[in-house]
Amino acid sequence: MDRAAPRGLASPAMRTFAHPDQMRHAPRFFLMRGEVRPHYEVPERAEALLAALHRLGLAPSEPASAASRAALETVHAPDYLDFLAGAVADWNGLGGAGPEVVANVHPTPEMLAQGGRPPQGVVGRAGWYTADTACPIGPGTWEAAQAAASCALAAAAEAAQGRSAYALCRPPGHHAYAARAGGHCYLNNAALAVEALRRAGATRVATLDIDSHHGNGTQGIFWARGDVLTVSVHADPNRYYPWFVGHAEERGAGAGEGCNLNLPLPIGTGDDGWLAAIESGIAAIRGFGADALVVSLGFDASEHEPLAALRVTEDGFARAGAAIRAIGLPTAIVQEGGYNVGLIGTLLERFLTGWGGI
């Protein structure tokens, strides 16, 4: 398909989910290579994706229903949820605090090996419950994260009925662990969808993460689980976030041994290499015998992405949509990253149009 090809509807049966509270999270800055820069993960991303759904005739008719605390606790630790809910109020109680909770200290492996534990003060708790400076917590962050989770849960409910659905999740989720935020992520939307599908009766669930960053949070959450296959196609972590994990030799542990598949790609990989890796992931998903699929859909593998790690074209995203649809599983498609605000709407159109076979 070329760029001038007409864009038809994606699968007419596909429902989509979004929530206006996702706009309430507006992080102010991003620290990269020692420079303070404007944050990439901006509310305009959600506006661009929603506009694409309107163009496709697939816009949601009403906000997704609120996520319950019990649903969040299927993945996340209660003490971590309490931290997210109360962090801004605690921070505002500090003298001279800025408008966002940003950690400037983290426990080291040496401290943890010697009994390190969560402190009482919010400065230390911020360091305990976050992995990096890319997940500031400001006014509206907690509400936005819950709204994103609600969209993922709604898409999972559709998939549990045998229908594929798209969740416009912002902030994204795949870098969030059970008890730690990181990399623009607070609640792991994809993992919540997996747990919802398991509780709705799916025996085995697979995840396929095609964001350009390794889905380290999702890997961590299901690391020792034999009922969930986690597959991630991403740029080489030796040169790209999340830096420390995402390597091919990480295969899971215990009951989950062999149920984690990382497919790292050299920086600069284009359509052919990226789509071949996705096909390898699809083969693993077929072999696993999953009943349902959760796709972590990032657009930051685009050749026009500001982070510029991979070189995937618009056609590449359309072909990925078609290839993943061909697995034939009921699927919850969960939005992850992608920071070229002027392009991500087009990429969503192309992916969903590819999915619809047009």
Nearest distance from C-beta of residue 310 to Zn ion, angstroms: 10
* Cβ distance to Zn ion smaller for residue 252 or 298: 298
When asked if residue 170 is in the footprint of Zn ion (CB under 5 A), the reply is: no
Nearest distance from C-beta of residue 307 to Zn ion, angstroms: 7
CA distance 15 to 146: 20
Nearest distance from C-beta of residue 217 to Zn ion, angstroms: 12
* Cβ distance to Zn ion smaller for residue 224 or 343: 343
Out of 100, 209, 211, 250, name the contact with Zn ion by CB under 5 A. 211
CA distance 332 to 173: 14
CA distance 18 to 60: 7
* Cβ distance to Zn ion smaller for residue 27 or 256: 27
| Side-chain half-sphere CA neighbours of 54 within 13 A | 6
Among residues 280, 290, 277, 285, the alpha carbon closest in space to that of 159 is found at 290
When asked if residue 217 is in the footprint of Zn ion (CB under 5 A), the reply is: no
Interacting span for Zn ion (CB under 5 A) from 1-9, 53-61, 127-135, 332-340: 332-340
When asked if residue 220 is in the footprint of Zn ion (CB under 5 A), the reply is: no
**246 Cβ contact list (under 8 Å, min separation 6):** 213, 214, 216, 219, 232, 234, 236, 237, 262, 264
Nearest distance from C-beta of residue 279 to Zn ion, angstroms: 21
Q: Is 175 a catalytic residue?
A: yes
Interacting span for Zn ion (CB under 5 A) from 58-66, 70-78, 94-102, 205-213: 205-213
Nearest distance from C-beta of residue 7 to Zn ion, angstroms: 25
Nearest distance from C-beta of residue 298 to Zn ion, angstroms: 5
Nearest distance from C-beta of residue 27 to Zn ion, angstroms: 15
Interacting span for Zn ion (CB under 5 A) from 62-70, 154-162, 275-283, 333-341: 333-341
Q: Is 329 exposed, middle or buried (0-12, 13-18, 19+ CB in 10 A)?
A: buried
Interacting span for Zn ion (CB under 5 A) from 18-26, 109-117, 275-283, 336-344: 336-344
Within 274-313, which residues bind Zn ion (CB under 5 A)? 298, 300
Structure-derived torsion over alpha carbons of residues 128, 134, 140, 145, reported in degrees to the nearest 10: -80
3-state secondary structure of 209: strand
Residue nearest to Zn ion (CB): 337
Among residues 231, 230, 60, the alpha carbon closest in space to that of 158 is found at 60
* Given the residues 19, 25, 174, 175, the one annotated as active site: 175
**347 Cβ contact list (under 8 Å, min separation 6):** 299, 302, 314, 317, 338
* Cβ distance to Zn ion smaller for residue 246 or 256: 246
Structure-derived torsion over alpha carbons of residues 304, 53, 213, 226, reported in degrees to the nearest 10: -150
* Cβ distance to Zn ion smaller for residue 298 or 356: 298
Beta strands 260-265 and 292-297 are unpaired
Tokens describing residue 324: 């993943």
100 φψ region: left (φ > 0), alpha (ψ -120 to 50), beta (else): beta
When asked if residue 132 is in the footprint of Zn ion (CB under 5 A), the reply is: no
* Cβ distance to Zn ion smaller for residue 41 or 195: 41
- DSSP label of 142: H
* Cβ distance to Zn ion smaller for residue 211 or 250: 211
When asked if residue 184 is in the footprint of Zn ion (CB under 5 A), the reply is: no
Tokens describing residue 174: 């795949």
When asked if residue 215 is in the footprint of Zn ion (CB under 5 A), the reply is: no
Out of 138, 220, 237, 337, name the contact with Zn ion by CB under 5 A. 337
- Tell me which residues touch Zn ion (CB under 5 A): 211, 213, 298, 300, 337
- Catalytic residues, which ones? 175
